[in-house]
Amino acid sequence: MFKQEVYLKALNFAANAHGEQKTPYGLPYLTHLVSVTMEVMHACEEANVEIEKSNKAITVALLHDTIEDTDVTYDDIFDEFGLEIAEAVDALTKDETLPRKEQMADSINKLLTQPYEIQMVKLADRITNMQKPPQHWDSEKIFNYQKEAKFILSCLKNCDMHLSQRLEQKIQEYRVYIK
Ligand SMILES: [Mn+2]
């Protein structure tokens, strides 16, 4: 279980931060955030994760793209949600000062120092993103996206059995998009 007020506070903060942003499918960006959060909630229920940890995971799921994709800073999150949440969102944020190829491994390394309930958000994010690739992606990008998903799964699979199995299945299904 989780606390409804915790969910609403993070949802409203994320909605404000992402404003008019859209997903690659043209939907309001919030649909991505609530999809990731839905995966996290489901997994927390399945695994009977305790309420405080579920609250944290759900908050971080809703906020996970704020530092990376909006004007929101680490300090803004720290002020509003405290140190643990700010560190968790930071771990889910690509360090754009690094070469592109190193960004994922760097983020995974930061995540591995985080509790399991935070690592779960990364699996939920990738599960959500393993939909039909956007039309403008070429075959190399699609291939690399699946490869990267396998890397994420191999690094984080211990955090939650249910999400790991689900990502494994999404990776299998993604094969139909690889030419
Ligand atoms: Mn995301």
Q: Per-residue pLDDT tens for 121-133?
A: 999 999 999 999 9
Tell me the residue range of the domain where 72 lies. Answer: 4-177
CATH number at 166 reads 1.10.3210.10
Length of the chain: 179
For residue 136, the 8-state DSSP code is T
Catalytic residues: 68-69
1 pLDDT more than 90:
no
Q: Which amino acid is at 112?
A: L
**31-74 tens-digit pLDDT:** 999 999 999 999 999 999 999 999 999 999 999 999 999 999 99
Give the pLDDT score at 6: 95
CA distance 108 to 112: 6
Tally of domains within the chain:
1
75 pLDDT more than 90:
yes
Cα 60 to Cα 84, 108, 122, 155, 165: the distances in Å are 10, 16, 10, 19, 21
Cβ < 5 A residues, ion ligand 1: 65, 125
Q: What is the residue-averaged pLDDT of the chain?
A: 96
CA distance 66 to 29: 11
Torsion of CA 128, 113, 95, 161, to 10 degrees: -10
Please tell me the distance between residue 104's alpha carbon and the centre of ligand 1 in angstroms.
13
End-to-end CA gap in the chain: 42
What is the distance, to the nearest Å, from the Cα of residue 13 to the centroid of all Cα atoms in its chain? 16
Give the pLDDT score at 2: 87
At residue 113 the predicted structure's pLDDT band, cuts being 50, 70 and 90, is: very high
CA distance 32 to 75: 24
CB 61 within 8 A of CB 124: yes
Please tell me the distance between residue 80's alpha carbon and the centre of ligand 1 in angstroms.
20
At residue 168 the predicted structure's pLDDT band, cuts being 50, 70 and 90, is: very high
Name the least confident of 1-5, 71-75, 110-114, 125-129: 1-5
Closest residue by Cα to residue 134 from 50, 36, 26? 26
Give the pLDDT score at 56: 98
Please tell me the distance between residue 121's alpha carbon and the centre of ligand 1 in angstroms.
9
CB 163 within 8 A of CB 36: no
